[in-house]
Amino acid sequence: MIITDNGTVGWEGLLLDKTVITLDRTFYETTELPINVSRASELDKHIIVALDGNNSFSGKEYDKRLGLFIDSERETILSQKDFSPVDNLLMIEKLLTLKTKTQNSKN
């Protein structure tokens, strides 16, 4: 079992099929595989449930959720080898400009 605030150790734990309890929001929470504890006072209860093996997903569903998450990450991230730092900054500037224009057109 791994207990983490929001570090990548939780992601690594999921990849190794470990029970992961998070104390904050994480980039991998959309998989619904980690157990999120919003109140520290309830941590003990979640640990007991996890130790009893009452995980929400197992087997093929667990693997499917991990696979879908990895696929979506691969489809939406920029590869460092494809862009220089200057290119990355230009891409960020373009995205921010687009977002600003979109928000302004809604108002």
3-state secondary structure the chain: CEEECCCHHHHHHHHCCCCEEECCCCCCHHHCCCEECCCHHHHHHHHHHHHCCCCCCCHHHHHHHHHHHHHHHHHHCCCHHHCCHHHHHHHHHHHHHHHHHHHHHHC
- Alpha-carbon span 56 to 66, nearest angstrom: 14
CA 9 centroid distance within chain: 11
Which tens digits make up the pLDDT trace of 61-102? Answer: 999 999 999 988 887 776 666 666 677 788 888 888 888 887
Which tens digits make up the pLDDT trace of 24-38? Answer: 999 999 999 999 998
- Alpha-carbon span 29 to 5, nearest angstrom: 12
Give 36's strand partners: 22
Global model pTM greater than 0.85: no
